[in-house]
Amino acid sequence: MSAFKVIQPGLLTLIQDAGRYGQHRIGLTNGGPLDALAFNWANRLCENPVNSSALEISIGGLVLEAETDTYIAVTGATMPLKINGRDCSYWQVQKISEGDKIEFGFATAGARAYLAVKGGFNFTPSFTSTSTVARESIGGINGGKLMIGDLLPCTRVKQASLLAVPEAEIPHYPSQLLLKVVLGYQQQSFDRVQQRLFFSSDYQLSDKVDRMGFRLQGQQIKSSLNGILSEGICHGAIQIPADGQPIVLMNDRQTIGGYPKIGSVIALDTAKLSQLMPGNKVAFEQISMERAHNINHLARQRYQNVALVNIA
């Protein structure tokens, strides 16, 4: 079998494709990579379709053994990467031979890295996607994180282009962020004082951070609503529960909820948020829907216009 064997699974390593869409009606959330940009770069380096399955490695500690010849690319957070004990670079394609040992250290900048293999990992989709959502026990391998001895099937590849992302396009992962927010229709339940407090305060990531949501600590915010009927929740929504401490909802969020929401963080910034560690700081900036669209379109155009470098 052409595959990688999991020798050590790391703190949290998950199979992810681009996400599970169109299934909210049956209560299934999106899943998918927390940092879509890093995920996309990994697949693009391997010349894979954008929805190919890859590994999301949180914090680090993953060790794999290759049982095939192929090519990989690793992007995202800075985690020391060694192949057969030799230090290797991120953001470029690496040749892998059968028997090679691939080891990740622990993150020194950022929190999540992505490993793509030429042709993608071969897993059977569940409800249209291979994305793992552990809370729902769906996707990936038995709906959970990687375990010792798991096999990650892929295609044997003898030859591929050795590509790299230009240095100017490689993201940096700071420990403090300003997140752009589009106000939601429930903004009126937060008076001007509460909104000003929210947008002028620094918050710290608590230790209650996972793929469902990032809980923050700092200035309390109060809504005039004591509760609302449960309703659909979008990616990046900022819930304000009874304790007044914001929660930014992420890929594995519940599909409905009943806390008031002051607005939503744009997707480009939730990706940056996912690279922060507990204790790091964030602040919020209000932007218009029109500016959010412009930011999105410009970022997509920039990504598409980048020419990868051939390092062979």
Q: Last residue of a domain, which of 103, 136, 166?
A: 166
DSSP character at residue 273: H
Structure tokens given for 121:
């990992």
CATH number of 195's domain: 2.40.100.10
- Domain check: are 259 and 184 in the same one? yes
Model confidence pLDDT, tens digit, residues 181-215: 999 988 889 999 999 999 999 999 999 999 999 99
Q: Give burial (CB, 10 Å; 0-12/13-18/19+) of 229.
A: exposed
Spatial CA neighbour of 179 closest among 30, 260, 107, 286:
286
- Report how many domains make up the chain: 2
Phi, psi of 17 (to 5 degrees): -110, -160
The secondary element (H helix, E strand) that includes residue 73 is strand 70-78
Model confidence pLDDT, tens digit, residues 16-75: 999 999 998 898 999 999 999 999 999 999 999 999 999 999 999 999 999 999 999 999
Do 64 and 138 touch, CB atoms closer than 8 A?
no
Write the DSSP string, 189-235.
GS-HHHHHHHHH--EEEEEEE-SSEEEEESS----S-S----EE--T
The residue length of the chain stands at: 312
Looking at residue 51, its pLDDT comes to: 96
Q: Last residue of a domain, which of 166, 192, 215?
A: 166
- Burial of 85-109, coded b for 16+ CB within 10 Å and e otherwise, reads eeeeebbbbbebeeebebbbeebee
- Domain check: are 161 and 187 in the same one? no
Q: What is the pTM of this model?
A: 0.96
Assigned domain for 249 exists? yes
- Domain check: are 191 and 138 in the same one? no
- Domain check: are 35 and 102 in the same one? yes
Assigned domain for 280 exists? yes
Assigned domain for 311 exists? no
- Domain check: are 158 and 183 in the same one? no
- Domain check: are 38 and 66 in the same one? yes
Looking at residue 83, its pLDDT comes to: 98
Do 113 and 74 touch, CB atoms closer than 8 A?
yes
Assigned domain for 309 exists? no
User: Which domain covers residue 271, as residue numbers?
Assistant: 176-303
- Domain check: are 160 and 180 in the same one? no
Assigned domain for 148 exists? yes
- Domain check: are 160 and 194 in the same one? no
The residues that bridge with 117 in the sheet, in sequence order, are 72
- Domain check: are 100 and 219 in the same one? no
- Domain check: are 241 and 137 in the same one? no
